[in-house]
Amino acid sequence: MITTTELTDQLPEETVDAVVIGGGAAGLNGALMLVRSRRSVVVIDSGAPRNAPAAGVHGLLGLDGTPPADLLRRGREEVRGYGGRIVAGEVTSVRPAAPSADGDLRFAVTLADGRALQARRVLIATGLRDVLPEVPGLAEHWGHSVVHCPYCHGWEVRDEPIGILAAGPASLHHALLFRQLTDDLVYFTRGTELGEDARGRFAARNIRVVDTPVDAVVAAPDGGIAGVRLSDGQVVPRRVLAVATTLQARTDGLLELGLPMADLPNGMGRHFATGMAGTTEVPGVWVAGNATDLMAQVGASAAAGALAGAHINAHLAAADTEAAFAAAQRDLARV
Ligand SMILES: Cc1cc2nc3c(=O)[nH]c(=O)nc-3n(C[C@H](O)[C@H](O)[C@H](O)COP(=O)(O)OP(=O)(O)OC[C@H]3O[C@@H](n4cnc5c(N)ncnc54)[C@H](O)[C@@H]3O)c2cc1C
């Protein structure tokens, strides 16, 4: 685990209103909305949020630069403050279970250590996995000298000698965004197509293009990056590399739900397909954050979680009302 959910609560034996799978920005904000509506909520979190390697969360109004672990610690405290439970663990199975006597939905959740829980509704907020291109020496620098997002850490690498390791059509766009941050930009095509038109535009912006294949990333003695070694042995000095990662929603333990998935164009990524407020084709299951919106930053993920949490509460309120009404009708019929 990269970060820890330093305290862990007990799993309740009784059925809870909602289980939230994943305790990042999306899951915790979803849980916060639910607990503030007096819903019983358990967040199960395996403690490896996507931005764990980053020093700070940037571009988040009022909290710019807050270390990711601090933000989540505060979020957990807020959820616990209203009675929510946060359990450290990994969900390995979640599936629909037999409905309650009054016909309400039920889900059975199992953790890697065998513990189990039953919930009325499920919010999936498992985030995504960034898959890096296979270049020797690259992965070691992920989140530090190897970056993907100009809005997350672009300001921090401004004016550095930056290299774009092209991965596909998205890299063209990436190059223009990083050019905004430095005058010293090299575009390594790595066998991807770069037409004459794009080359002309790059030249007009002083973006140097290198077509020689890339062999490896060369580490610097200070722990950062010294450059990029090409197949002809030449080393192009660079301090920062920007890569467009492939974005894969984290689906471990969730496949039994049979949730539909959708693909971004050009193999850029795969995510859970959702509708309004994170609803899915499986009644009782919502998805929020990077698991469904691969481009969402922390603020957007938290907002999506909050919306899904509110929607789940509304769904539960309707179900509670239907159950109470049916019981009242039965009582009347008996009189
Ligand atoms: C290096 C880097 C830097 C970034 N910097 C910024 C930035 O400066 N500003 C910004 O706004 N955004 C930044 N981002 C993007 C940010 O990380 C995401 O927007 C955000 O993490 C999405 O939140 P989330 O809740 O959807 O997913 P996550 O934060 O990834 O949380 C998902 C959680 O679910 C847990 N989980 C997954 N599967 C299971 C399971 N089966 N059982 C239990 N738990 C599970 C994970 O362990 C994790 O804790 C950065 C991303 C990266 C990679």
Quick one: tokens of 240? 């920062």
φ, ψ (nearest 5 deg) of residue 226: -100, -30
pLDDT in tens, 240-262: 999 999 999 999 999 999 999 99
d(CA 95, CA 300): 28
Please compute, for residue 19, the number of CA atoms within 13 A of its CA located in the half-sphere on the CB side. 33
Round the average pLDDT of the chain to a whole number and report it. 96
Q: Which amino acid is at 261?
A: M
- pLDDT for position 3: 45
Of 302, 245, 297, 308, the C-alpha closest to 24 is 302
As a whole number of angstroms, the distance between CA 157 and CA 162 comes to 8
Expressed in angstroms and rounded, the spacing between residue 271 Cα and the centre of ligand 1 is 14
Position 6 scores a pLDDT of: 64
Question: In the structure, what pLDDT confidence band is assigned to residue 335 with cuts at 50, 70 and 90?
Answer: confident
Tell me what the mean pLDDT of segment 322-334 comes to: 94
pTM of the model: 0.96
Predicted confidence (pLDDT) per residue in 166-183, tens digit: 998 889 999 999 999 999
Average pLDDT over residues 283-310: 98
* Residue 91 alpha carbon, nearest atom of ligand 1: 42
Task: Give the pLDDT confidence score for residue 1 in this predicted structure.
Answer: 41
DSSP 296-317: --HHHHHHHHHHHHHHHHHHHH
Average pLDDT over residues 273-302: 98
Identify which of 132, 298, 307 to mutate to test ligand 1's pocket (most ligand atoms within 8 A of the CB).
Answer: 298
Q: Hey, what are 125's tokens?
A: 């907020």
Q: CB under 6 Å to ligand 1: residues?
A: 21-27, 44-51, 53-54, 57-60, 90-91, 125-127, 130, 143, 149, 152, 250, 252-253, 289-290, 296-299, 301
Per-residue pLDDT of 77-94, as tens digits, reads: 999 999 999 999 999 999
For 39-52, the pLDDT digits (tens) are: 999 999 999 999 99
Note the pLDDT tens digit of each residue in 182-231: 999 999 999 999 999 999 999 999 999 999 999 999 999 999 999 999 99
What is the spatial order of strands in the sheet that 225-230 belongs to? 214-219, 225-230, 235-237
| The pLDDT value given to residue 7 | 83
